[in-house]
Structure 1
Amino acid sequence: MTTKEQERKALEEIRQIVADLGEQSYLGSAFTGTFDLAEQNIDFDAAFTMTGQIDVIAEAKAKQATEKMQQELDAVIRERDTLRDTCNRWKETHKSALEANANISQDYLDLRDSHEEIKLEVIRLKAKLYDMMMSQEVAAS
């Protein structure tokens, strides 16, 4: 079993080999972040891996995305419910307006009929007055 000091020495040698290849090397790109992780493993007697770190980050991002999507869904549901309530109120208002219109129409028809009856009564009374006036003229002559 190797000691922490031997691990640190090996890590430095590997780090130097990769550094000597240059920043744009394939190995340099592949080892990005792994040296820090290796130091943490040595310091904390741990066995962290890059794939494990990626999984943790991916889970955190997925959780954030899920929470954001849930908030957006909740907002859409609230808006849908508001629209549904508005639509229901509009339907009730429309129904009331139709009922009021029907009542007004019936009132109009009733008034029109009453007006016709009054016109007929006026004509009948005029005719009666005319008859009375004519009979007085005939009697006076």
Structure 2
Amino acid sequence: MVTAVGSGGTAAGLTLGLRLAGLRTRVVGVVVNDTLRLDDRAVVAPTDRAESLLRRRGANHPRTPFVPDAVTMVRDWLGPGYGHTTPAGVRAQRLASESGLTELDPVYTAKALAALLAMAADGRLGTGPVLFLHTHGPRDAF
């Protein structure tokens, strides 16, 4: 599952939800923010705290140990920084629009789709199905 990562919350929530559901799906977070520490460890830490909170609030689920390769953060598509477009992102945005698939914002989701396309082309996403999570970019963009 590939998604844009601005603060880490979406990737953390996906990682925990997939873990609780017993799925082995890997989350690939495409970092679009250069002002926060957004590495694998920073994204995983909230999942353990959230799982503990759920348990304290009455959730009755088996303990789900974190698997190190469950989340991977990639920074290769950030470009010059937050708020800046990239040539690969512009191409991905155009491809999505011309294909009639969806509209992407240039700062978040276009970079994430560019990463998905490049990583799929060079085999880094494996051989199974890949899901692109369209987060619709920053909340204030629409």
Question: TM-score interval w.r.t. the shorter chain?
Answer: under 0.3
More strand per residue: 1 or 2?
A: 2
Bigger CA radius of gyration: 1
* Higher RCO (Cα < 8 Å, 6 or more apart): 2
TM-score (norm 2): 0.20
TM-score (norm 1): 0.20
More helix per residue: 1 or 2?
A: 1
